[in-house]
Structure formats: structure tokens, C-alpha cells
Amino acid sequence: MGRVVRVFITAALVALSVITVAPSASVDAATPAPSRCLMRPALQRAPTNPPSPSAQPNHCTILSIGDSVGLDLGIGLTHEFANQRSVVLISRGVVSTGLVHDSFYNWPAHLTDYLSRWHPDVVVVCVGANDHSSIYTNGRSVPLLTLPWQAAYQARIRQIADIVRRFGAQIVWVGVPVSSTGGYRQAMKAMNSIYKGVMANSPGGFYIDTWDLFASSTGAVRPTAKVNNRVMQVRSLDLIHYTPIGCDVFATYVIRAMATKYNVILRPSTPAEITG
């Protein structure tokens, strides 16, 4: 998908998906609270004696951020949450961004602004597609995946997690699905291991492994798959990004994982699942 088209989709998605909510109480940076969303009756599985509708809060706010792959996920999440009135989905995927080149787009700064503005209950993060390069830290350029590179990259992931936690939200880090071939593929796989490790040691962190979601039986990336029993194109020609139905498959998988993890009711509007 061309950059102009993707930027247009970003603008359209923002216009359709963003619903500004009233600011919550001031944030206590020293005492991160558990996610308000996950405590809400509107999303909890039905109890024996459910509360009256008037006693249930109106919605849960989910902020989805990331690079162009995260943008694809945000498109899918917006579609799949369209009919769930208890969920407000705010998508802020930005093309060509990541955690390595923070001089181009500083995610910690923008994330802080988003959290201050919308006070989401859950933040879904999907980055990495543009991070397969040297990282500039401590006044020098560090080669990809060397131990110093990994240490610097881990620090930037922890910074994102710490910012989310200070605002009392849960963080869901979505790994990059299998993509492309060669060195790029290996870099993505290595970075997924880093995301998983950092989330395992971050209070409130949850990592969703999506590597095999679009993989063939041999582990190769597959551009087509049987979705809801129909063979469809799920990946773009670059084998990195996604078609509209691929975005829905991606989002459905993430929603299912979140629902299982938090034991809450999150129903995709039009579930798209790989069936063969």
C-alpha cells in the first residue's frame, strides 16, 4: 500500500474512531492503579445477579498505537469494535515510526500527550517493523541486535511501559507476525523475544505472540489463507503489511487474546479467523 494511501487511511481512521472522553482524576505517578476498564461490569463476564444497566459504566477506552503494522492493527480493531458500545477505540498508528529513530517521531512524548488527553484504560502497542537498524544511544551508533543495542532497545520499551503504568492503564504489547524473509525476518523474531521478556517483567504488562498467525505449516509467511472458510489475500505484496481482511484477522486474534487474559467480554463485530 502506498504511503499516500496509508496516510489517507490514517486520517480517515482518526476521524471515525476517536471519541474524546472526559478527563479522569489527576494521575498519581507513584501508585499506578489497576485498569479501570477491566474492573467494569460492562465488560466482565455475566455474574449470577447482574447489576442494573443504569449501574454499569458506559465504556472502556482502548488506545492503539504503533507503526504502519500497528496502523493495520488499529484499522482492524476499529472495524471489529464497531458494534461493541462498551468500547471506545482510539487508533494512533503512524507510518515509518518506531523506537529506534526517536528523532523522527518521539513515541514517549506523543504517548504521554495521548494518555493525558484520553486517559485510556488499555494501551495496545505494535511497533518494530522499522526498528531493524542501528540505534543511536549515549552519543554513538550501536549495530543492530548487539548486546548494547538490545540493552538500549529494552530501555525504550520499558520507558513506554512505565509511561502507561503511570497513568494507571494496562499495556498490551503485540508481537510482529511472521513477515518477509532473510535478515529482516530474523530481526523481527529477535525483537519479539525482547518485547516478550520486557513485558514479563513489567507490572501489568501482557505480551501477545502473533508470529504463527499468518505462517504456513512450514513456518513461512503466507500471502493467502482460508478466512472463515474462504481463501483470501491477507498480506500485502511486501509480505509485511495487511489487506483489509488481514487487518480483521489480526485484530480478531488480539481481541480474543485480551478477552482470555483479562476474563472480560470483548466480542469482534465481524470475527475474521483463519480456518485453514
For 4-23, what is each residue's pLDDT tens digit? 334 334 444 333 333 333 33
Predicted local distance difference test score (pLDDT) of residue 267: 86
Q: Is residue 47 part of a domain?
A: no
Report yes or no on 49 lying in a domain. no
Tell me if 71 sits within 8 A of 95, measured CB to CB. yes
Task: Enter the C-alpha cell of residue 91.
Answer: 487508533
CB 273 within 8 A of CB 249: yes
Cell of 139: 552519543
Domain hosting residue 81, numbered range = 3-14+32-42+59-262
Phi, psi (rounded to 5 degrees) for 200: -65, -25
Residue 127 has what pLDDT? 98
Q: Is residue 68 part of a domain?
A: yes
pLDDT tens track for 141-186 = 999 999 999 999 999 999 999 999 999 999 999 999 998 878 999 9
pLDDT band for position 191 (cuts 50, 70, 90): very high
Mean pLDDT to the nearest integer, 93-103: 96
Instruction: Tell me the CATH number at 104.
Output: 3.40.50.1110
Residue 182 lies in a domain: yes
147: its cell numbers:
548486546
- DSSP annotation string for the chain: --HHHHHHHHHHHHHHH-------SPP-TTSPPPPSGGG-TTTBPP-SSPPPGGGS-S-EEEEEEESHHHHHHHHHHHHHTTT-TTEEEEEEE-TT--SS-TTT--HHHHHHHHHHHH--SEEEEE--TT--S-EEETTEEE-TTSHHHHHHHHHHHHHHHHHHHHTT-EEEEEPPPP-SSHHHHHHHHHHHHHHHHHHHTSTTEEEE--TTTTB-TTS-B-SEEEETTEEEE-B-TTSSSB-HHHHHHHHHHHHHHHHHHHTB----SS---B--
Q: Indicate whether 257 pLDDT > 60.
A: yes
**What's residue 159's pLDDT?**
98
Residue 183 lies inside a defined structural domain of this protein: yes
Residue 58's pLDDT band, with cuts at 50, 70 and 90, is low
Look at the chain and report how many structural domains it folds into: 1
